[in-house]
Amino acid sequence: MAKLTTQRQTILDHINSSNQHWNAVDLAHDLALRGHKIGIATVFRGLAALETEGLISSMQLKDKKCYERANKAHHDHMVCTSCGTIEEFSNDTIETLQEAAAADKGFDMTGHQLVIFGRCTSCNQKG
Amino acid sequence: MAKLTTQRQTILDHINSSNQHWNAVDLAHDLALRGHKIGIATVFRGLAALETEGLISSMQLKDKKCYERANKAHHDHMVCTSCGTIEEFSNDTIETLQEAAAADKGFDMTGHQLVIFGRCTSCNQKG
DNA sequence: GTGAGTGCAAATTTTTTGCACTGCG
DNA sequence: CGCAGTGCAAAAAATTTGCACTCAC
């Protein structure tokens, strides 16, 4: 069991008190703005430790890993390619079909990642 | 319309004549082994150009972009976390449900990425 | 000769690592 | 003391970019 140090507590609180998806760099920057200067390596290691403990979850985008609160039901993500907004959605049928597809190929499925790209409602309205 | 130079032709032929998923670095290395030394930047630019022309397709993993032949029906990927093998699968129902989920959120869906992680058959047998 | 393409090396970006140092039990 | 955690700076790894050079039309 990793230690929940002051820095990690700060990181955890910040993630828990927001509904956003944070990547290490942005989170470190935002914390610094609020007076919590934490070394970037500590943020990376802290996030990994918190995820290992199950205190936060993550999703991987091509260029960065984003962390979010853990107390949510499983869901997948929709990313707006225009403004970067991340929305969540879930569909049990899709989940089931994925398992079936894996079984069909003899895969012992351990996880999956489904990301839908597109333009969100507000970006669409802006043209 | 980009030019199909000697280098790009070489890259294209290599991808078309194999059923594998290539990332730029591995492809450049493999081509070099076969006597086709192409600068890594040229490989990156060539792959991007070929994809723009629709001559090859790609999938994005967290740490690298993999290119494959374009003359295939749409499919998603299953990646073995043990040996790195990439298998393909497709499921129309999943595709449809994704569109429905996007529409439900008011997203103008432009693409998606579904990757299933797990252990492939042969890795499972090895224990 | 003009513009796209090439190759090399330097720069970028995200994340990891080495290492000396700090803090708590 | 013993050790996990921290911070900084250097290292990795994939990809991009600046720039001089080459080549086909």
List domains and CATH numbers for chain B: 6-69 (1.10.10.10), 76-126 (3.30.1490.190)
Provide the CA B23 to C1' C14 distance, Å, integer. 18
Using C1' positions and the CA of B1, the closest nucleotide is: C4
**Whose CA is closest to A64, among A93, A24, A98?**
A24
**Alpha-carbon gap, residue A103 to A106, rounded angstroms:** 5
Q: Which residue of B has its CA nearest to A114?
A: B114
Contact B76, B116 (CB under 8 A): yes
How close A94 gets to chain B, by Cα (Å)? 6
Task: Tell if the CB–CB gap between A114 and B118 is shorter than 8 Å.
Answer: no
Distance, in Å, from the CA atom of B16 to the CA atom of A36, rounded to the nearest integer, reads 52
CA/C1' separation B41–D25 (Å)? 25
CA B103-B105-B106 angle, to 5 degrees, is: 60
CA of A46 to C1' of C16 (A): 13
pLDDT given for residue A39 in this prediction: 95
Q: What is the pLDDT of residue A1?
A: 65
Look at A112 and B117 and tell me if their CB atoms are within 8 Å.
yes
Of A76, A68, A74, A78, give the one whose Cα is nearest residue B105.
A78
What pLDDT sits at residue B3?
84
Question: Which residue from A47, A45, A77, A42 is spatially nearest to A62, judged by alpha carbons?
Answer: A77
In angstroms, the separation between the Cα of residue A32 and the nearest Cα of chain B is: 27
How far apart CA B127 and CA B122 sit, in angstroms, is 9
pLDDT (average), residues A26-43: 95
Optimal mutation site among A76, A88, A93, A108, interface B, most CBs of chain B within 10 A: A108
Within B5-67, where are the H helices? 6-16, 24-33, 40-52
CB contact under 8 A, A105 and B93: no
pLDDT at A63: 87
- Whether B112 contacts chain A with CB within 8 A: yes
Q: Which of residues 49-68 of B touch strand D (CB under 7 A)?
A: 63-65
Question: What percent of chain A is predicted at pLDDT more than 70?
Answer: 98
CB-closest option in A80, A97, A112 to B93: A97
Does the CB of A6 fall within 7 Å of any strand D atom?
yes
pLDDT over threshold 70, residue A127? no
For residue range B39-93, list pLDDT tens digits in order.
999 999 999 999 999 999 999 999 999 999 999 999 999 999 988 899 999 999 9
Task: List pLDDT tens digits, range B19-34.
Answer: 999 999 999 999 999 9
Asked if B111 is an interface residue toward chain A (Cβ–Cβ < 8 A), one would say: yes
Mutate which of B65, B66, B76, B94 to disrupt the A interface (most A C-beta within 10 Å)?
B94
Cβ neighbours of B15 (radius 10 Å): 22
A69-105, pLDDT tens digit by residue? 998 999 999 999 988 899 999 999 999 999 999 999 9
Residue A46 in tokens: 């802290």
> 3-class DSSP state for residue B127?
coil
